[in-house]
């Protein structure tokens, strides 16, 4: 057994772990990084990157079939599903070097390709290594949650960890779960030529603003996706190429392939947290607002911390704990300014409070500013007029923003900036956007907030009349 001593031990080489390891090493800390599976974690290999590449293929096929409104004849796209997957893996391969073992070793990080298991509060075993560290960061991420559905263990099925290796296009894809992953995969596959049925036990996109979610769901239905809501699954049965999903309401849905998109679970099974004195919660590892666990030497970041499960949150957490672990400075993780996006077409994005949450929190103090894509000239030019920007405002400051429409995931960045820096709506309104851009929507919604104050205010009108009459 080889013993190592280090300043910082990072368990998991996904987005958060890699950010911590790179930052700490380049700032002078001695760093050991453990990874028992693939460098880059879920996001690079099974999540964000391959899903967005598949969505891009679906968009290309959809554009060919719906180009007549631009004066270009519609054509039936000839989809080579295996070639689509080649595209997906080529995208992964292009990004892979940024997360590679060689790159991080060049930073001075000692990379050990083994899973880590606590054997004491300050020691972790990984293969034939025992690492004693002053500070430890758990960044093991999450995995697909496979619900305990009767028959599921005997029926062939896919998750996001396996669907991107499938090279034959599903004739009819059944998806259990109507969250962001399920909706993204549903639209990508319907556009690539599969039939698709989504079975959701509650409400599809149920964590999002209902008005915005309905825009997305109506679009998917118009493209042919069969979305069944309030359909709890009672049983799954069948064989390869012939699968049945039976709901408690008696509906039976038949398809050729089954995708499980029913949520995520924190990767904690291998860690032996009890040996380190680390308590867990129902969703992951217990942490305080500084991301420390119940073992003061150990931090938990990203999905495994049991909060918002997004790659960018893991990266944000990395910055929070570097300040604390390396410099001993107070540092706290916040969630108010954390955005998220669902990359359907149209996209759906949110930061801060939804309208319902804001009404509950602020009551009559809340004002809603809204601007529709239909009135944006660039959206009109590109035939992307479906959607809206909605901003929740309290005392002149935004407390949340909901965007559904073209490039919503890009537009939400500005509102994350506003919430992170406590900006006022007047500062957003002062921004100048190039014309014509989709980004102008953000300025226009700020203008919509001030319009009643300027154009419907009788005092303003009296002042203007006075100035025009008496000031030369």
Per run of 10 residues, the mean pLDDT along the chain (length 472 residues) is 94 97 95 97 94 98 97 97 98 97 97 98 96 97 95 95 96 98 98 98 97 98 98 95 95 97 96 97 96 97 94 95 88 94 98 98 97 98 98 98 98 98 97 97 96 67 71 72
Residue with tokens 């893996």: 89
Closest CA to 440 of 377, 383, 370: 377
Q: Is-same-fold flag (152-264; 339-455)?
A: no
φ/ψ of residue 395, rounded to 5: 55, 40
Helix (H) or strand (E) holding 245: strand 242-247
CATH of 152-264, one of 3.90.25.10, 1.10.287.1060, 3.50.50.60, 3.40.50.12280: 3.50.50.60
> What's the pLDDT at 260?
98
Residue with tokens 């529709």: 372
**Number of Cβ atoms within 10 Å of the Cβ of 414:** 23
CATH superfamily of 2-143+265-327: FAD/NAD(P)-binding domain (3.50.50.60)
Q: Compute CA 450 distance to the chain's CA centroid, rounded to the nearest angstrom.
A: 32
Q: What residue segments make up the domains of the chain, in order of their start?
A: 2-143+265-327, 152-264, 339-455
Give the whole-angstrom CA distance, residue 238 versus residue 250: 17
Backbone torsion region of residue 243, taken as left when φ is above 0, otherwise alpha when ψ lies between -120 and 50, otherwise beta? beta
Whole-structure pTM value: 0.94
CATH superfamily of 339-455: FAD/NAD-linked reductase, C-terminal dimerisation domain (3.30.390.30)
Helix (H) or strand (E) holding 42: helix 41-45
Helix (H) or strand (E) holding 51: helix 48-65
Cα separation of the two ends of the chain: 90
Residue with tokens 């000839």: 78
pLDDT tens, residue by residue, 238-291: 999 999 999 999 999 999 999 999 999 999 999 999 999 999 999 999 999 999
pLDDT tens, residue by residue, 29-74: 999 999 999 999 999 999 999 999 999 999 999 999 999 999 999 9
344 three-state secondary structure: coil
């Amino acid at each position: 057994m080889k013993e190592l001593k280090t300043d910082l031990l990072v368990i998991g080489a996904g987005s958060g772990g890699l950010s911590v390891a790179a930052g700490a090493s380049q700032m002078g800390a001695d760093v050991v990084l453990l990874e028992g599976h693939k460098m880059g974690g879920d996001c690079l290999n099974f999540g964000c990157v391959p899903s967005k590449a598949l969505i891009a293929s679906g968009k290309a096929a959809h554009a060919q079939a719906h180009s007549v409104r631009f004066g270009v004849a519609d054509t039936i796209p000839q989809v080579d599903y295996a070639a689509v997957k080649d595209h997906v893996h080529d995208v992964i391969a292009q990004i892979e070097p940024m997360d590679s073992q060689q790159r991080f070793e060049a930073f001075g990080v000692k990379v050990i390709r083994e899973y880590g298991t606590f054997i004491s509060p300050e020691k972790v075993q990984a293969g034939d290594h025992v690492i004693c560290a002053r500070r430890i960061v758990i960044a093991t991420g999450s995995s697909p949650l496979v619900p305990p559905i009767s028959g599921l263990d005997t029926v062939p099925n896919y998750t996001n960890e396996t669907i991107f290796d499938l090279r034959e296009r599903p004739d009819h894809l059944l998806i259990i779960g109507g969250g962001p992953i399920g909706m993204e995969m549903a639209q990508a596959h319907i556009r690539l030529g599969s039939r698709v049925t989504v079975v959701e036990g509650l409400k599809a996109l149920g964590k999002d603003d209902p008005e915005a979610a309905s825009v997305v769901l109506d679009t998917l239905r118009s493209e042919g996706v069969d979305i069944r809501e309030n359909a709890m699954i009672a049983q799954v049965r069948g064989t390869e190429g012939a699968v049945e999903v039976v709901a408690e309401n008696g509906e039976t849905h038949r398809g050729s392939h089954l995708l499980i998109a029913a949520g995520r679970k924190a990767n904690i099974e291998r860690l032996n947290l009890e040996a380190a004195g680390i308590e867990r919660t129902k969703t992951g590892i217990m942490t305080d607002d500084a991301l420390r666990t119940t073992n003061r030497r150990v931090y938990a970041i990203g999905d495994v911390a049991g909060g918002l499960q997004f790659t960018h949150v893991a990266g944000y957490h990395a910055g929070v704990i570097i300040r604390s672990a390396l410099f001993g400075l107070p540092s706290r993780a916040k969630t108010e300014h954390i955005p998220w996006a669902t990359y359907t077409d149209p996209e759906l994005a949110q930061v801060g409070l939804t309208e319902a949450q804001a009404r509950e929190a602020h009551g009559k103090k809340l004002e809603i500013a809204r601007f529709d894509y239909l009135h944006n000239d660039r959206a009109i030019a590109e035939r992307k007029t479906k959607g809206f920007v909605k901003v929740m405002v309290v005392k002149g400051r935004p407390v949340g923003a909901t965007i559904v429409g073209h490039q919503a995931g890009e537009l939400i960045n500005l509102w994350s900036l506003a919430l992170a820096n406590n900006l006022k709506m007047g500062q957003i309104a002062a921004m100048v956007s190039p014309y014509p851009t989709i980004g102008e929507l953000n300025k226009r919604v700020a203008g919509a907030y001030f319009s009643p104050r300027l154009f419907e205010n009788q005092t303003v009108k009296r002042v203007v009349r006075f100035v025009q009459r008496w000031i030369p």
